């Protein structure tokens, strides 16, 4: 289930990220360890997350995910292994929040994309998801909330 979409302007936020370029089929094996690695580096540097974990996709390509898994931070993370400093951008975006298990995200994005097209909105190639409430908060996937952000052109 998606919330009513809205158009808003985001503000830039400093983040710690790991860049991954992987086949779709490897997402479940790569994502969790990347989050664990991020959190370990933050802890070692005395930093704490300043927001939820997110995935920032640079461009959607068939069969391949090219993205950063990251977390907002107060301050700047020092590069360590695969972890690098980055930023969530200041952009005009269309946003909707999906509630449900992660397996439903492709359909949620499809519905969101159809709404944007029906509204005549021009989408940039990039997008990001923020995992606002997930398995770390509640084991029931029906309660998980994922914020979907699609930058707009114009």
Q: Encode pLDDT of 98-150 as tens digits.
A: 999 999 999 999 999 999 999 999 999 999 999 999 998 999 999 999 999 99
From CA 139, how far away is CA 108, in angstroms rounded? 20
Cα dihedral across residues 97, 99, 103, 108: positive or negative: negative
Mean pLDDT over all residues of the chain?
96
What the block records as the tokens of 100 is 């449900």
Domains of the chain: 6-153 (3.20.80.10)
pLDDT band at 60 (very low <50, low <70, confident <90, very high): confident
| Total-model pTM | 0.95
CA distance 57 to 149: 10
Q: Mean per-residue pLDDT for 19-41?
A: 96
């Amino acid at each position: 289930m998606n919330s009513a979409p809205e158009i808003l302007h985001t503000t830039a936020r400093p983040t710690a990220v790991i860049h991954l370029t992987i086949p779709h089929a490897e997402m479940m094996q790569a994502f969790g360890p990347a989050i664990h690695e991020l959190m370990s580096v933050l802890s070692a540097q005395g930093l704490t997350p300043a927001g939820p974990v997110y995935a920032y996709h640079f461009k959607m390509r068939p069969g391949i995910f090219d993205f950063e898994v990251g977390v907002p931070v107060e301050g700047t993370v020092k590069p360590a292994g695969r972890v690098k400093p980055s930023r969530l951008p200041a952009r005009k975006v269309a946003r909707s929040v999906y509630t449900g298990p992660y397996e439903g995200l492709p359909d949620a994005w499809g519905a969101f994309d159809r709404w944007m097209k029906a509204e005549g909105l021009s989408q940039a190639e990039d997008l990001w998801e923020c995992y606002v409430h997930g398995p770390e908060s509640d084991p029931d996937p029906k309660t998980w909330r994922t914020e979907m952000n699609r930058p707009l052109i114009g």
